[in-house]
Amino acid sequence: MSTIIPLTDVRNAGHPTAMDAFVREAADAAGPAPELPVDTLGRHLHDLRISVTDRCNFRCVYCMPKDVYGRDFPFLPHADLLSFEEIARIAGIFLRQGVRKIRLTGGEPLLRRNLERLVEMLASLGDVDLTLTTNGALLARKARALRDAGLRRVTVSLDALDDPTFRAMNDVDFPVQRVLEGIDAAQAAGLAPIKINAVIKRGLNEHAIVPLARHFRGSGHIVRFIEYMDVGHTNGWRMEHVVSAAEIVAAIAREFPLEPAEPNYTGEVAERWRYRDNGEEIGVIASVTQAFCRDCTRARLSTEGRIYTCLFASAGYDLRALLRENYSDDQIGNAIAAIWRRRADRYSALRSADTPRLHKVEMSYIGG
Ligand code: SAM
Ligand code: SF4
Ligand code: SF4
């Protein structure tokens, strides 16, 4: 269980040769599979998260700590990234395997130049709910172009409203006001309803919970509080740093009484709550204390074209090789279906004192 992990090996590169062989064999198998794939635990493939860059302009202490992601950190060279054409092609193939929701993420997705061009390509694929998660730093500048390109909604990450806490968490001294301006610009551009994601880490920002709830009450935006997760291995996660969803709900309910709300759909990650007085909604994402693996229908496409079937996977399946070696869409579809059919991931449901030590890839690489 306790593999020694070099801290700079955040991508687990070079590891998955057996998985790559599996991908090729599946792609070479005869004829397209007739039915949509279901994994070994009966879960369909419904959501695709696409990481468009492994770079970020923040160094959030729980995600890309500066001592690992310093000046010399070897981010991917541009030639290794999937091009927009490659991403759009893979996304189209995923749609034919049942995907209906695509989220662009990263790293910081708005750092990828001309992202709106990719948004336009994905929006034109048809029946897909297209959204994006951003730290908001560049949103004021980009919201209108993203909306014009066909984006419908955004999620903005914001972990505190008081400047000292926010600056300490992003660790690049970025002021909270600029993120709030980004949220306003997104609203003005019609990218609503906006979801606000706040990761809560004990000792860092649990005092931000109630002010965040208070600030966004009446705004039409939906705040979702996220339990701090043991993603990757660079953030030094410990169970005692987790503020549980139950604690978060209790803290808010002391000031603003809450009642549970029904999930919108099976597989929704956030547990929904409503304010008793005005009926508005908040969410808590209890990935640590109440695992939701049973309904997990998400695949992740890394910046360099590997498919990960779990946020906590230790390796991914290389689809870029198939794209660049002229495999057909049907063949790549076969490979995706075969990958999904063998999926058995349920890391959070099995999480134990030892699992944080397993070799996992980083969130900034495969996307949150
Ligand atoms: N840079 C963008 C952002 O921050 O919104 C998109 C990528 S980020 C990896 C996606 C989401 O993952 C963010 O909402 C972030 O707060 C969350 N996240 C990152 N590390 C996390 C951790 N260890 N536990 C829980 N959530 C985490
Ligand atoms: Fe960057 Fe998002 Fe990670 Fe923060 S959470 S370091 S903004 S990728
Ligand atoms: Fe899905 Fe893996 Fe998270 Fe479970 S641990 S909910 S399988 S991503």
pLDDT digits (tens, 9 = 90+) for 87-127: 999 999 999 999 999 999 999 999 999 999 999 999 999 88
Q: Which residues line ligand 2 (CB under 6 A)?
A: 56, 58-60, 63-64, 106-108, 135, 157, 364
pLDDT at 3: 40
326 residue type, one letter:
N
Q: Which atom of ligand 3 is nearest to the CA of 292?
A: 6
Give residue 109 CA to ligand 2 midpoint distance, Å. 10
Contact (CB, 8 A) for 207 and 234: no
According to the model, what pLDDT value does residue 18 have?
81
Q: Residues 41-93: pLDDT tens digits?
A: 999 999 999 999 999 999 999 999 999 999 999 999 999 999 999 999 999 99
Domain that holds residue 306: 7-366
Residue predicted with more confidence, 1 or 103 = 103
* pLDDT of 36: 95
Q: Which atom of ligand 1 is nearest to the CA of 56?
A: 1
Residue 287's contacts (CB-CB under 8 Å, 6 or more residues apart) are 226, 227, 229, 269, 348
Other beta carbons within 10 Å of 117 = 14
Whole-number pLDDT of residue 11: 60
Contact by Cβ (8 Å): 197, 155: yes
In a domain, 177, yes or no: yes
Average pLDDT over residues 9-20: 62
As a whole number of angstroms, the distance between CA 286 and CA 271 comes to: 8
Instruction: Give me the amino acid identity at 274.
Output: R
What DSSP state is assigned to residue 71?
T
Q: Tell me what pLDDT residue 287 has.
A: 87
Residue 302 has pLDDT above 70, yes or no: yes
Looking at per-residue pLDDT, the higher value among 14 and 35 belongs to 35
At 284 the pLDDT is 96
The C-alpha atoms of residue 22 and residue 309 are separated, in whole angstroms, by: 14
Question: Residue 125 domain-assigned?
Answer: yes
Q: Give pLDDT, residue 314.
A: 83
Bridge partners, 131 (sequence order): 103, 153
Asked whether 348 lines ligand 3 (CB < 6 A), one says yes
pLDDT confidence band for 252 (50 / 70 / 90): very high
**291 Cα: distance to centroid of ligand 3 (angstroms):** 8
pLDDT digits (tens, 9 = 90+) for 184-211: 999 999 998 999 999 999 999 999 999 9
Q: What is the mean pLDDT of residues 133-157?
A: 98
Residue-level pLDDT at 12:
53
149-160: average pLDDT: 97
Ligand 2 mean position, distance from CA 15 (Å) = 25
Across 18-99, the runs of DSSP E, i.e. the strands, are: 47-51
How would you list the strands of the sheet with 258-260, edge to edge? 258-260, 271-275, 281-285, 222-227, 195-200, 153-157, 129-134, 101-105, 47-51, 298-301, 306-308, 317-318
Decide if 2 is inside a domain: no
Q: Check residue 264 and give its pLDDT.
A: 73
- The structural domain count of the chain equals 1
**pTM to 2 decimals?**
0.93
Looking at the domain assignment, is residue 179 inside a domain? yes
Query: Which among 305, 366, 311 is positioned nearest to 93, based on CA atoms?
Result: 305
Question: Residue 234 CA: which ligand is closest?
Answer: 1
The whole-number pLDDT of residue 32 equals 63
Q: Bigger pLDDT: 188 or 290? A: 188
Q: Is residue 117 part of a domain?
A: yes
The domain spanning residue 148 has which CATH number? 3.20.20.70
Ligand 2 geometric centre to CA of 194 (Å): 18
Give the pLDDT band (50/70/90) at residue 356. Answer: low
Least confident of 190-199, 260-269, 353-362: 353-362
In a domain, 1, yes or no: no
